[in-house]
Copies of this chain bind each other. A is one copy, B any other.
């Protein structure tokens, strides 16, 4: 009901809408309308109220509310259920908890700020309030654990395409799933799962994109290797549009993956990969290797060409480009 009232006000933004009119159109009481308007105001919607004229929507807050994301979102299942938190420790942790308790595929957890955001390999993911995209989606693909890197690479492609479509930037992908612009990190992806040996029970796909945060928002030790859309374009952009497009791209690629397998995804990934032939170091749990990136094989494993010409595949590891 709150969303319906908001939609009426939005359609006549900056114009007066009488309370009576809303009551009639939605068949609710004046008191109910008043209560929902109060909630919207608490959420940051600036709504003017005058006894005889009614209500007038002045501004919509720049927050990623479910009602804002849902409006005009062209997906079938991703983001159909949205949990928004002003602050949360980690959207991945919140989404894992939901997934364990049976949340549906496509459930989206989104927040304005993570208080202990996580990156790959146990790293921290820092965020400023209300500036970036910090989200996790629950997926339930019927795959086995060994196939999980495919989800991660698919997500990187979706994020790169969404940034390209909505922000006219062309980020490149660094294996397996970082987005880089001008050699700096724009986006990171953390895929987690609950699984048995031969079936994945849930995947939580965490995506962080630096949208409107800028240099002063980032910790000193990562400033030199971090960027954001604002930073590159010199101006703030709509997080909402980017997020909606990201969810749409994700769903589209997910469906291609489900129907046609990993090859079409891998082709897209290869086209976006920036690190081909770069000198690089790969740190695995057990050992470090240096060489040149030779691309990826058909399973999405990174191929590193060593000095002696030997090519080693990596299914996991941390890649540093030796630029």
Contacts and interface: CB of A to CB of B under 8 A. Distances in A.
Interface of A: 120-121, 142-146, 148-149, 151-152, 176, 190-199, 285-286, 315-317
A149 B148 CA distance: 14
- Copy number in the complex reads 2
A145 B197 CA distance: 9
Contacts of A142: 285-286
Given A145-B145, A316-B144, A121 B199 contact: yes
A296 B146 CA distance: 17
B285 A199 contact: yes
A197 B121 contact: no
A120 B191 contact: no
Contacts of A198: 120-121, 149, 176, 315-317
A124 to B, nearest CB: 14
A146 B148 CA distance: 9
Contacts of A317: 198
A190 B198 CA distance: 10
A316 to B, nearest CB: 3
A191 B196 contact: yes
Contacts of A191: 196-197
Nearest to A198: B316
